[in-house]
Chains A and B, each alone.
Chain A
């Protein structure tokens, strides 16, 4: 029965691999987030504390960038959603403020989550926000309209060939979902 023992040992080893690979599938989820955060892939823009801004960046008035703001609704989202201004001309290293306007025209209270995305994607990690309505879920009562603030700063190390950045917010309906991030 040495053979049966040997088989049992082999099976045990292989089953461990199977379980490990199932776990690896789930491990890819945090790995993916970390990878995107480090590389700025996927258009995920950064976040920075306002107190650090002065220490980190020096304004560069010699360079001007155009920032375009775009608002979009995901499939089932009924709100009105638009940027206060469509474009801004900014200098890297300097803090700017603007806002988006959202209005809930439906008859009930709803909660929304805005998800940012940036084009070109390689610019994303140079675009940092000190304050953003996308950091939190945004509840609006029936018929309520709200100005949702955004304060941002562009890292002066942004590659020289980039002159225009497009920031897109997509609004998702998360009413009835608990906050997860």
Chain B
């Protein structure tokens, strides 16, 4: 603090304001990054609590705890909260913290908009969660909001739609900020092909967001006008078509799943070289692979709707296009493994999560390939196999990458080391339990258990109980994660500036924690 005071007159370098006002009015990328991450963590626990309700209800066949309508709203809001409230804000928080420090910029390009785009989020999710207290309860038609079912929601319907609008506006503004920052604010000498992969993957993610979020906004606006303004976009009686909603929704929805995973690829590409003590294998092929995945994500949407009655030509097109995505994704996994090959590896917690990511994300990728086979999908569609698939890519994929990133950069952010022993316990308990939680769901799905049901036939009882036990342990182990983070923030061993022996990149040249305003003078890029 004394240094900040000393330099105050010289260059008007203000430290943070005091108290609550700092967080409300801040335009500092580090503060806003922290806000995003804290918000995401809060939402992660709210969404996680809903998952606990779901697994508790499914612990045994029969109706146990909650009524079916409430169960359906749990599965719907669990998904909305986890996707739009936890994973996306967590990635935006990481982008805020890291992108300026990685490209040698003093801050994000549009700091005021940055503040606004964060502060919209608490309002959006208060709106969404408030629907539980309204006549008719929360949304219960599934997170995809297919009409006509979603239109049968109670009085909370417009609140839910506006919540989605707000969350969408927030992430569009966040993406604009990321794109402008990366394109205009790089330090001299930081060419595009020198950028860290986290910056690259976020640049592409931001483009996906600005291209698809407005389409989602359009789709939910059509739902809104169908319900209240007498339009018939999805109403067959007025000449509309409910299947068209699925096309429009998945035109957004498929790129969205890459929005949820591309930044994770960037994180893993930062962590693996550090702990393998080798440069990343195939940097430029990583960039091209990410770009190809982003492009392909726009032409595969109908693989979510193989069973709506498409002509064979359509099914074949979407099947082959989907399978093609396995090629650039395979390139990435190959490159990560090659980076580790013959490296001087050490297994600190971030590396454990990164390796866990690579293995379990690949399992999710393979079950995705199975689902891409149109005739097989007729069997798997809307079963627990799909649930197992997307939880492998989202929980052990996206969430694991966020955990890895937290352990990796937390010493940089706070200036203190986390408790390595607790971190490792967190990893092993999470990894064992998450597989007990989701792997049996493959068996349930292949045996024919449909998703989105509060009760099931008795032949599914055993694996559901196993899955629920895994779920409770996984849920509880995340409290350990919370404790590790709190413990680090409140005091831990002092971290060095470099933190990790093998770490490379501009953010490691700053002190730990970095000064409130970093890179006011652009760094020299070798």
A-side residues, CB < 8 A to B, are 3, 6-7, 10-11, 14-15, 17-19, 21-26, 28-29, 32, 36, 39, 41-43, 74, 113, 115, 121-122, 170, 172-174, 177-178, 180-181
Indicate whether A10 sits within 8 Å of B232 (C-beta atoms), given known contacts A21-B211, A25-B219.
Answer: no
A180: chain B residues at CB < 8 Å are 232, 238-239
**Is the Cβ of A177 less than 8 Å from the Cβ of B230?**
yes
Name B313's closest neighbour in chain A (CB-CB): A39
**Is the Cβ of B215 less than 8 Å from the Cβ of A24?**
yes
Name A75's closest neighbour in chain B (CB-CB): B148
A41, A170, A177: which contacts B238 (Cβ < 8 A)? A177
Asked if B109 is an interface residue, CB under 8 A from chain A, the answer is: yes
Asked if B486 is an interface residue, CB under 8 A from chain A, the answer is: no
State in angstroms the CA–CA spacing of A115 and B238 once bound together: 9
Of all A-B residue pairs in the complex, the 5 with the closest CB atoms, nearest first, are: A25-B218, A172-B237, A22-B214, A181-B239, A21-B214
B235: chain A residues at CB < 8 Å are 172
B110, B184, B248: which contacts A28 (Cβ < 8 A)? B248
**Is the Cβ of A26 less than 8 Å from the Cβ of B237?**
no
Task: Beyond A7-B109, A14-B175, list 12 extra A-B contacts (CB 8 Å).
Answer: A7-B110, A10-B179, A10-B183, A11-B176, A17-B211, A18-B213, A18-B214, A24-B214, A28-B215, A29-B222, A74-B237, A174-B237
Interface of B is mostly: helix
Complex A-B: 24 CB contacts under 8 Å: A7-B109, A7-B184, A11-B180, A18-B214, A19-B214, A21-B210, A21-B213, A22-B214, A24-B215, A25-B216, A25-B219, A25-B251, A26-B218, A28-B244, A29-B222, A74-B237, A115-B237, A121-B309, A170-B236, A172-B235, A174-B237, A177-B230, A180-B238, A181-B238
B243: chain A residues at CB < 8 Å are 42
Tally of A-B Cβ pairs under 8 angstroms: 97
Indicate whether A42 sits within 8 Å of B218 (C-beta atoms), given known contacts A10-B180, A10-B183.
Answer: no
A43: chain B residues at CB < 8 Å are 309
State in angstroms the CA–CA spacing of A3 and B186 once bound together: 11
Interface residues on B, range: 35 or more
Indicate whether A177 sits within 8 Å of B180 (C-beta atoms), given known contacts A21-B212, A39-B311.
Answer: no
**Is the Cβ of B311 less than 8 Å from the Cβ of A41?**
yes
B-side residues, CB < 8 A to A, are 109-110, 172, 175-176, 179-180, 183-185, 210-219, 222, 230, 232-233, 235-239, 241, 243-244, 247-248, 251, 309-311
State in angstroms the CA–CA spacing of A19 and B218 once bound together: 10
**Is the Cβ of B215 less than 8 Å from the Cβ of A32?**
no
**Is the Cβ of A25 less than 8 Å from the Cβ of B237?**
no
Name A74's closest neighbour in chain B (CB-CB): B237
State in angstroms the CA–CA spacing of A41 and B244 once bound together: 12
Interface centre among A18, A36, A39, A177 (most CB of B within 10 A): A18
B513 to chain A, nearest CB (A): 27
Interface centre among A6, A21, A113, A180 (most CB of B within 10 A): A21
Indicate whether A115 sits within 8 Å of B244 (C-beta atoms), given known contacts A25-B215, A121-B309.
Answer: no
Interface of A is mostly: helix
Name B175's closest neighbour in chain A (CB-CB): A14
**Is the Cβ of A32 less than 8 Å from the Cβ of B241?**
yes
B19 to chain A, nearest CB (A): 30
State in angstroms the CA–CA spacing of A32 and B251 once bound together: 13
**Is the Cβ of B233 less than 8 Å from the Cβ of A29?**
yes
State in angstroms the CA–CA spacing of A23 and B214 once bound together: 8
Indicate whether A32 sits within 8 Å of B180 (C-beta atoms), given known contacts A74-B237, A181-B239.
Answer: no
B230: chain A residues at CB < 8 Å are 177-178
State in angstroms the CA–CA spacing of A42 and B309 once bound together: 8
A25: chain B residues at CB < 8 Å are 214-219, 248, 251
State in angstroms the CA–CA spacing of A180 and B251 once bound together: 26
A121: chain B residues at CB < 8 Å are 309, 311
Name B314's closest neighbour in chain A (CB-CB): A41
B280 to chain A, nearest CB (A): 28
**Is the Cβ of B218 less than 8 Å from the Cβ of A22?**
yes
Indicate whether A6 sits within 8 Å of B184 (C-beta atoms), given known contacts A21-B211, A22-B215, A22-B217.
Answer: yes
A26: chain B residues at CB < 8 Å are 218, 222
State in angstroms the CA–CA spacing of A125 and B11 once bound together: 74
State in angstroms the CA–CA spacing of A178 and B184 once bound together: 52
Name A44's closest neighbour in chain B (CB-CB): B241
A181: chain B residues at CB < 8 Å are 238-239
A57 to chain B, nearest CB (A): 24
A15, A32, A115, A172: which contacts B247 (Cβ < 8 A)? A32
A113: chain B residues at CB < 8 Å are 237-238
State in angstroms the CA–CA spacing of A170 and B310 once bound together: 20
**Is the Cβ of A14 less than 8 Å from the Cβ of B215?**
no
B204 to chain A, nearest CB (A): 14
Interface centre among A26, A36, A122, A174 (most CB of B within 10 A): A26
State in angstroms the CA–CA spacing of A113 and B240 once bound together: 12
A29: chain B residues at CB < 8 Å are 222, 233, 244
B303 to chain A, nearest CB (A): 17
**Is the Cβ of B172 less than 8 Å from the Cβ of A18?**
yes
Indicate whether A174 sits within 8 Å of B238 (C-beta atoms), given known contacts A14-B176, A122-B311.
Answer: yes
State in angstroms the CA–CA spacing of A23 and B215 once bound together: 8
**Is the Cβ of B237 less than 8 Å from the Cβ of A14?**
no
State in angstroms the CA–CA spacing of A151 and B516 once bound together: 78
A169 to chain B, nearest CB (A): 11
State in angstroms the CA–CA spacing of A66 and B241 once bound together: 28
